């Protein structure tokens, strides 16, 4: 069986389990695709084919493991992130060096079973949102080679959108993991600052940088984020995840005066359609004052933070300025006139603007913004590189300055076939719930995956939701996909609808003496926890009774409230079973508990 045109983690793992694919076959096929792909600017370097096949064969020999959630999954690495044995160029050949160790995030993904294929192109020194600032060429939009792919994580986004890898690592300071996602019809997860360590990542602005994840689905990108996240002693900016819950669906939207699409009326209409979809999913649209966010966005390149880009490569820029892309050089060396006084004034201004945005966050739970207001031709971008690039960052530049999390998802196509995307923005450490919302919004659109506009989004039903007459059930433990009792759902024809999270007033326990191991979910009114991650499954009504009858004590089915206010049937536990149980609420889900045990 051939691999999908746009491969995803869930589908590859399903085919690994049923024996129709192997990691070796997938690696071979993807390397062949890469060789045949006409845009030769996507990759800067690839690992040796024999080494990759040997790595895949070693994984096959050892077999899949619960502590390797990325077992056999190939991926790409943006070339400002270290991959041992391949040069790190940052799209500047004269800067190149060959690391002997993987960046922390790459090492964690490899330990989880991932297979890095090579290094992808980028706007030089991660300075740009358009993908044209590289001596290795300008990767092009997967839908039209006359248009930019977005940057700076250009090669990573095209690699996913073209079906060359299931996921790719990028970085995101000003929108570099979100804008290229929008321009190639894929998902871009920009985690909270510090969640994914920066050890082994050449910084653009070290205090603001994030490693980003580009993938076919939100579920895939969020899985990668969870595998790679966590403190790193070598990175003083790294942070532990906190799983801040999002407890409502009030979403902030651009009011008329704040809307700017630079004449692209079709993209504006697609933005309105995305707002309507989120309302249909139960959200409440709240117009916001975007002015303080826009003022904050202008600080990134119009304020002292540009000096942090010089700090990252100051020695190289002093001795090799002629080796740099002219636009990148002008931006980075333009920081020489910035003083310490300017830096402090910039900090004061940022604090003032953050205070002004607090009124917005008191009224909304998330923001829903265009990822980019429009898309440009490569020739136009090269002719006017600074102004047009600035236009692309209008709705992205503020996010890291204000310490927010963001997930970009596809949101439709213009009449000329070019894509548009929107971004959900939420508070720091709300990454998990933000992903759950983004997943629902992505599935509601039905815009395909990457270059395949007709592909269904894997892991769930069409946007219409459960089949007519089906009953929806929340699984939180051994019935999750791939776990020991999941067959009891799939055996009666159940379909996975997606990943969700409960409301915050639930506690979670690892029960004692259960075989296979099972958790217990108990509601505790007034308790404010992280909420518990689970999966929604759609069961045929005539099978629901048989399924419930087979559930052993102390578990049963009752009504469970989700974080977005919906109430569904789900697994609950008798309180008497908690004697001898271990509370694991803080972990936020059964998979994380199992991963810790492994």
Among all residues, which ones are annotated catalytic? 78, 152, 176
Q: Are 407 and 219 in contact (CB under 8 A)?
A: no
Which of 573, 574, 578 has its CA nearest to residue 512?
578
User: In the numeric block, which tokens belong to residue 483?
Assistant: 């776990």
Integer Cα distance of 35 and 455 in angstroms? 23
Closest CA to 285 of 297, 275, 300: 275
Residues 6+ apart with CB under 8 A from 529: 245, 504, 505, 506, 507, 585, 586
Task: Judge if the upstream peptide bond of residue 554 is cis by omega within 30 degrees of 0.
Answer: yes
Instruction: Give the number of C-alpha atoms closer than 13 A to the C-alpha of residue 411, restricted to the C-beta side.
Output: 34
Residue 118: in which H helix or E strand, if any? Answer: strand 115-120
Q: What does each C-alpha distance from 94 to 91, 156, 320, 380, 503 come to in angstroms?
A: 9, 22, 8, 28, 53
Question: How far apart (Å, rounded) are the C-alpha atoms in residues 33 and 50?
Answer: 16
Query: What is d(CA 375, CA 312) in angstroms, rounded to the nearest whole number?
Result: 29
What b-and-e string marks burial along 13-41, b requiring 16 or more CB atoms within 10 Å of the CB? bbbbeeeebbbbbbbbebbebbeebebeb
Tokens of 518: 């099972």
Residue 32 neighbours by CB under 8 Å, 6+ apart: none
Please choose, from the candidates 307, 377, 481, 493, the residue with its C-alpha nearest in 3D space to the C-alpha of residue 138.
377
Nearest to 44 by CA among 116, 134, 179, 125: 134
Residue 521 β-bridge partners: 508
Residue 418 has phi, psi (to 5 degrees) of -85, 145
DSSP 20: S
Pick the closest to residue 525 from 510, 507, 511, 501 (CA basis).
Answer: 507
Smallest CA-to-CA distance from 164 within 38, 17, 59 is with 38
For residues 406 and 178, the answer to whether their CB atoms sit within 8 Å is yes
Sequence-distant (≥ 6) Cβ neighbours of residue 105 within 8 angstroms: 81, 169, 196, 197, 200, 201, 211, 228
How many C-alpha atoms does 246 have within 13 Å on its Cβ side? 30
Task: Give the full edge-to-edge strand order of the sheet including 284-288.
Answer: 43-46, 115-120, 74-78, 167-172, 210-215, 187-190, 404-413, 419-427, 366-370, 250-254, 284-288
Q: Report which DSSP code applies to 377.
A: B
With beta carbons less than 8 A apart as the criterion, state whether 88 and 118 touch: no
């Amino acid at each position: 069986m051939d691999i999908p045109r746009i491969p995803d983690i869930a589908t590859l793992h399903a085919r690994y389990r049923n024996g129709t694919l192997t990691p070796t076959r997938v690696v071979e096929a993807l390397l062949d695709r890469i060789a045949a792909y006409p845009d030769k600017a996507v990759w800067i370097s690839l690992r040796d084919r024999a080494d990759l096949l040997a790595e895949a064969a070693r994984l096959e020999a050892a077999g899949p493991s619960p502590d390797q959630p990325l077992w056999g999954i190939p991926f790409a690495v943006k070339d400002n992130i270290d991959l041992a044995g391949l040069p790190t160029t940052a799209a500047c050949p004269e800067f190149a060096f060959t690391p002997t160790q993987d960046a922390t995030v790459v090492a964690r993904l490899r330990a989880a079973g991932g297979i890095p294929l090579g290094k992808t192109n980028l706007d030089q020194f991660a300075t740009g949102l358009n993908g044209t600032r590289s001596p290795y060429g300008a990767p092009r939009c997967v839908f039209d080679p006359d248009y930019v792919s977005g940057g700076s994580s250009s090669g990573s986004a095209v690699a996913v959108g073209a079906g060359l890898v299931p996921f790719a690592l990028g970085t995101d300071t000003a929108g570099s993991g979100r804008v290229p996602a929008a321009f190639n019809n894929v998902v871009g997860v920009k985690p909270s600052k510090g969640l994914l360590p920066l050890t082994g990542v050449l910084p653009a602005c070290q205090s603001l940088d994030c490693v980003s994840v580009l993938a076919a689905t939100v579920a895939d990108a969020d899985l990668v984020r969870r595998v790679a996240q966590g403190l790193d002693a070598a990175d003083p900016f790294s942070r532990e995840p906190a799983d801040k819950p999002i407890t409502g669906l009030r979403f902030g939207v651009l009011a008329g005066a704040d809307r700017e699409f630079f004449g692209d009326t079709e993209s504006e209409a697609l933005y309105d359609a995305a707002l309507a979809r989120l309302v249909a999913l139960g959200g409440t649209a709240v117009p916001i004052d975007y002015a303080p966010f826009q003022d904050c966005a202008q600080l990134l390149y119009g304020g002292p933070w540009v000096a942090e880009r010089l700090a990252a490569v100051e020695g190289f820029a002093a001795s090799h300025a002629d080796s740099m892309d002219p636009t990148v050089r002008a931006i980075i060396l333009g920081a020489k006139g910035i003083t310490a006084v300017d830096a402090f004034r910039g900090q004061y201004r940022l604090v003032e603007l953050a205070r002004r945005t607090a009124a917005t966050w008191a009224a909304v739970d998330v923001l829903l913004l265009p990822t980019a207001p429009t898309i440009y031709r490569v020739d136009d971008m090269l002719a006017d590189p600074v102004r047009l690039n600035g236009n692309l960052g209008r709705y992205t530049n503020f996010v890291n300055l204000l310490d927010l999390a963001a997930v970009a998802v596809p949101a439709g196509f213009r009449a000329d076939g070019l894509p548009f995307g929107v971004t959900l923005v939420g508070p720091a450490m709300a990454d998990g719930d933000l992903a759950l919302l983004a997943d629902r919004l992505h599935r509601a659109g039905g815009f395909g995956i990457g270059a395949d506009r007709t592909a269904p989004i894997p892991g769930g039903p069409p946007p219409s939701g459960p089949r007519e007459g089906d009953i929806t059930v929340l699984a939180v433990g051994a019935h999750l996909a791939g776990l020991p009792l999941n067959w009891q759902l799939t055996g009666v024809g159940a379909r996975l609808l997606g990943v969700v999270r409960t409301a915050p007033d639930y506690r979670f326990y690892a029960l004692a003496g259960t075989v296979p191991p099972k958790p217990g979910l108990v509601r505790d009114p007034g308790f404010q926890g992280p909420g518990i991650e689970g999966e929604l499954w759609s069961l045929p009504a005539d099978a629901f009774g048989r399924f419930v009858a087979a559930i052993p004590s102390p578990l049963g089915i009752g009504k469970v409230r989700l974080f977005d206010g919906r109430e569904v049937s789900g697994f609950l536990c008798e309180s008497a079973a908690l004697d001898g149980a271990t509370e694991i609420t803080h972990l936020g889900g059964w998979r994380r508990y199992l991963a810790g045990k492994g």
